[in-house]
Amino acid sequence: MQSKIDARAIEAIIQSRKEGPQPTGVLVGKVDEVIKPKSLLRRTFDYIIGEPLTYLVNWGRLYSLWPTHVETACCSVEIGASAGSRWDIERFGVLEAFGSLRQCDLMLVMGTVTRKLAPRLKLIWDQMPEPKFCIAMGACAISGGLYEQSYNVLQGVDKIIPVDVYIPGCPPPAPAVIDAIVKLQEKIRCMDLKGRVASEAYLRLSPKWRFR
């Protein structure tokens, strides 16, 4: 598994492509507004009260991601594995089973969503309180997967609900699920007090430029 091409040359080509004209980024989830320059008073207020409070609230949101499981296919087996003792997702605050929709933050869509299930999925999503996040797990939930152009299967859950993190795989193994949850926590760290998630371009900024 050794290639003769220099990896640095390839990365240089990719970089040169990125610097060219890019399509304007389509934002996933809750879209942020245009960042306006703030006044001095507002900035000092944010520095003294706003930022510590945001940090505290986000810290609370981070480690209590109570999920609703929409288990329709074999991906739920992998969630069972990752909730087991070997890969314990309860370390990150994600419970394996929870009763009420009204107290949930996270929606885990695992598996194929048929056209009959789609309105029910939207109903579940609407019953959850803000702020709420969605993880699409597996090829079927992301794009339809093997059921491409099927008359009965929804071609990706992002057609009806906003998806925060996509996990590719069929089904994705337990470490991939853990990685997705860590990525979602990284996204929550960048959240506003109002529950707005920053755009992806904003996420890629270094933390010293966030929320100033």
- Binding residues vs other proteins (CB under 8 A): 1, 3-5, 7, 10-11, 13-14, 25-26, 28, 85-88, 91, 139, 142-146, 148, 156, 158, 163-170, 172-173, 175-176, 178-180, 182-183, 186-187, 189, 200, 203-204, 206-207
Tokens coding 96: 């394996």
Q: Which long-range contacts (CB under 8 A, 24 or more apart) does 143-151 make?
A: 144/112, 145/112, 145/170, 146/170, 147/112
| 28/197 Cα distance (integer angstroms) | 9
| 149/169 Cα distance (integer angstroms) | 19
**End-to-end C-alpha distance for the chain, whole angstroms:** 47
Using alpha carbons only, give the angle 31, 33, 34 rounded to the nearest 5 degrees.
Answer: 135
- DSSP E strands in the chain: the ranges are 67-71, 106-110, 133-137, 165-167
| 62/72 Cα distance (integer angstroms) | 26
| 113/140 Cα distance (integer angstroms) | 8
State which residue, 21 or 207, has the beta carbon closest to other proteins: 207
State which residue, 101 or 183, has the beta carbon closest to other proteins: 183
State which residue, 101 or 179, has the beta carbon closest to other proteins: 179
State which residue, 39 or 85, has the beta carbon closest to other proteins: 85
Computed from CA positions of residues 72, 74, 79, 80, in that sequence, does the dihedral angle turn out positive or negative?
A: positive
State which residue, 20 or 37, has the beta carbon closest to other proteins: 20
State which residue, 37 or 151, has the beta carbon closest to other proteins: 151
CA 49 to chain centre: 28
Q: How far is the CB of 147 from other proteins (least distance, A)?
A: 9
